[in-house]
Amino acid sequence: MRWISAARIFITLLSLFLAFPGQAADRLLVFAPASLAGTIDKIADAFTTETGRAVAVSVAGTPQLARQLEAGAPADIFISADAQWMNWLRERKLLSNTSFDLKIAGNSLVVAVRRETENWVDIEKLLTVFHRLVDIGYSLLVIEHH
């Protein structure tokens, strides 16, 4: 399963976190994006099984989690679904000096098109633009209803 490799990365990340003195809370509080809800729970369970340390997971939209950090929420680890929000937190000096970027999961772009669609060239161009935007850190949500 794909989450197993993410679990190994996450466990390594948490182990690095625990290596710093003064970080020995009874449980770790992880803020994670809603898009990782099921996966992050499995990863947290794997971490707890391997280390014996409890992990509490708070799942919400990245903007809501970032605003909670700004308001003083005591999260030990912040996982973002959006590079722009990580930059927003960094600009406000809300991340520790030991913070670093590590990709632990990803999503795939899926497009459903009506069977009668004939304009594939424009759709391919649009998908290319979407991929470029995501590659530079933008989050995209496109909903079109006819």
Nearest to 10 by CA among 82, 87, 2: 2
CA distance 21 to 23: 6
pLDDT at position 143 is: 58
Q: Are 102 and 9 in contact (CB under 8 A)?
A: yes
Instruction: Using only the alpha carbons of the chain, give its radius of gyration.
Output: 18
Tokens for 133, please give them. Answer: 């935007």
C-alpha 102 chain-centroid distance? 10
d(CA 37, CA 18): 23
Give residue-wise pLDDT tens across range 73-107. Answer: 988 888 887 778 888 998 999 888 777 666 666 66
pTM: 0.62
Angle between helices 62-70 and 83-91 (to 10 degrees): 10
Q: What is the per-residue pLDDT across 105-139, written as a single tens digit (0 to 9) for each?
A: 666 666 666 777 666 777 777 778 777 777 776 66
Q: What phi and psi values does residue 128 have, to the nearest 5 degrees?
A: -60, -45
Question: What is the average pLDDT value for the chain, to the nearest integer?
Answer: 75
What are the chain's domains?
A: 2-91 (3.40.190.10)
Report how far residue 102's alpha carbon sits from residue 52's, in angstroms, rounded to the nearest whole number. 24
pLDDT at 44: 87
Q: Write out the DSSP string of 51-91.
A: H--EEEEEEE-HHHHHHHHHTT---SEE--S-HHHHHHHHH
